[in-house]
Amino acid sequence: MQSIKKECTLCDLAVEISGFKLETKEGLQHFCCEGCLSIYRLLNPHKLLPPLNEKKK
């Protein structure tokens, strides 16, 4: 088995826990903690994918 080391998209620290990830227009991003994830979302709203269930009636 090969383990691929991932780095936090925001702070470049090694990602120990694979649970903080975010699907963006540029692909799946990984983060070291929930803080980095939420900061990334705040800083890059244009990269976020629109919610699937957001439809106009």
**What's the DSSP call for residue 48?**
B
> CB 42 → Zn ion: shortest distance, Å?
14
Cβ proximity to Zn ion: between 5 and 56 the closer is 5
> CB 54 → Zn ion: shortest distance, Å?
28
> CB 49 → Zn ion: shortest distance, Å?
21
The dihedrals phi and psi of 45, each to the nearest 5 degrees, come to -65, -30
Residues that bind Zn ion (CB under 5 A): 8, 10-11, 13, 32, 36
CA 23/CA 28 separation, integer angstroms: 4
